[in-house]
Structures are given as structure tokens and as C-alpha cells.
Amino acid sequence: MKHLTHLLIFLALTALTQLGGIIGWLSLPVLRLIRRPSRWQQTGLRGAAFLLIYTLSVFSFVPTLAQWNGRVPLPCFASDVAPLQAANVGYCLLMRNYVTPATQTRLLTVARQVREVHPDSTVRYLDANFPFLNGFPLLPHLSHNDGRKVDLAFFYQRKDTHEPLNASPSWLGYWCYEQPQHPKEAACLGKPSHLRWDFDWLQPRYAAYEMDAVRTRTLLQLLAADTQKVLLEPHLQTRLGVQAANVKFQGCRAARHDDHVHAQW
């Protein structure tokens, strides 16, 4: 049972972070040096030690090794020079913020262009890619496995005052859906999919907010002019007036794209 538990933890960490299972396995000799009379104290201290080792690994040697593999991390926090950051620092901690150097350069250019049009606005990314191995799946996505795909959050504002927000209403950045203004605009009505989540029970939490159409339109126009492909729900393409050959609908078997935009270079 103990070995099965370790295997399940290894697999879960690998699926979630790519390297978490390997870091855990390599840290076992150090963790086994921690012994306490109480089982719970020992487990807690070992867990804390692993988190420390893991965090140090994420921000120290992993970026260097990833660079040898042709991938670099997107910035976790924005600056004046790079107005781009993770919607949640968890994307950095889970090592889901890696892209190719060319993708990083072009995304940063888009973020700077957004800042020029809308001062003080920061582009926020969600899932990007893992640091190693083309083809390694970044679950639950169907792609995001070659360093060239990045999910970006919409810009939001308060419904009552139209005051712009500097963050997504959702702490994760996903699942704050922008519903069609008319039912007939729904692209996948009556076509359920195991990846097309609705989370109806979660939507009242975000009722005070709405997509900032002006800033989001600017972001989409810049992406449409720069990327190979942009994925967005059809009703938002129409509503925002962003029509281009590379702005596409992902289909009804993939995740919804009315809470974020998928861009690939």
C-alpha cells in the first residue's frame, strides 16, 4: 500500500507539473533523514521540506535546463519593461509557464502594444506549456505541448461602474464565462462534451463583472495580426468585431473559449 501511494503521488505530480514527481523521487534521501516520534509531525515536516526543495528547484535550475531544451519561462510578475504576468502565481509554481524564446518575444511585444494603447493594463496569461519534451501533454488541454501555445485571460470591468479591473474575477483566470447575448448565438447548444465545462454553479460568483470589450478587442486585434492561430467562440468574434482567417472556433469537443483566448505562434 505504501508503494502504491508513492506511485500515485509520483504520477499525479508528473501529470500536474511534469517534473514534480522526479523532484520528489530525487529528494527522498533527504526527506528520509527527517524523523519525529509523531507520525503526523514527521509527515508534516517532510511535506514542508519537499515544498521547499520543489520551490527552489522551480526557480533555480529548471529555467536553466529548460533553456538548453529551447524553452524559457514567461514572467511571473509584470514590470514596466514586460507588462505580462501570470493570472495566478500557481502557473509558475506548477511550471506551466514555459514557451519557446520566439513565442516569449512575440507575446511580450503584444503585451507592450496593449500597454501603449491602454496605459496601466497588464496582459495576464494562464496555461502555457511545460519546460521539456515536445508532445508531453499539459492536461487537460488537447495541445499546449510544443512551447508555442498560450492561454490569455480576457480583460474585465465592473458591470455597474465600468471600472476596469487589473485582474480576472476568477482566481484561476478560467471559468468566468462570457455568455452569448442571445441563445441562438450559442455554438454548441445540445452538443455536450466532457471538456466543454459549464460550471453554472460558479457563475453567480462573478455576476458583478463583465468582459472589458474595449481592452479585450485591442488584445485580440494584436494577436490576430501576429499569431498563427487564435481560438475564440464565434459569438465573441462577432461581438468584438474581430474577423480574420486565423481567428477560429475550436469546435464543440474542446474546452470553451469564452473565458479566455488561446493563441499560438
Q: Which residues make Cβ contacts (< 8 Å) with residue 206, sequence separation at least 6?
A: 169, 170, 176
Fold category of 72-264 in CATH:
Muramoyl-pentapeptide Carboxypeptidase; domain 2 (3.30.1380)
- Mean pLDDT across the stretch 194-214? 90
% of the chain at pLDDT higher than 70? 97
User: What region, left, alpha or beta, does residue 162 occupy, with left being phi > 0 and alpha being psi -120 to 50 degrees?
Assistant: left
Q: Is 70 left (phi over 0), alpha (psi -120 to 50) or beta?
A: left
Q: What is the pLDDT of residues 39-49, one digit of tens each?
A: 888 889 989 99
- Cα 176 from Cα 156, distance rounded (Å): 10
The residue ranges of every structural domain in the chain are 2-59, 72-264
Using a cut of 0.85, tell me whether the model's pTM lies above it: yes
d(CA 171, CA 193) in angstroms, rounded, equals 24
- How confident is the model over 123-163, as pLDDT tens digits? 999 999 999 999 999 999 889 999 999 999 999 999 999 99
pLDDT grade, residue 1 (50/70/90)? low
Is the model's pLDDT at 58 over the cut of 70? yes
User: Tens of pLDDT along 211-245?
Assistant: 999 999 999 999 999 999 999 999 999 999 999 99
Rounded CA gap, 209 and 262, in Å? 21
What is the spatial distance between Cα 50 and Cα 39, in angstroms, rounded to a whole number? 16
In this prediction, what percent of the chain has a pLDDT beyond 90? 75
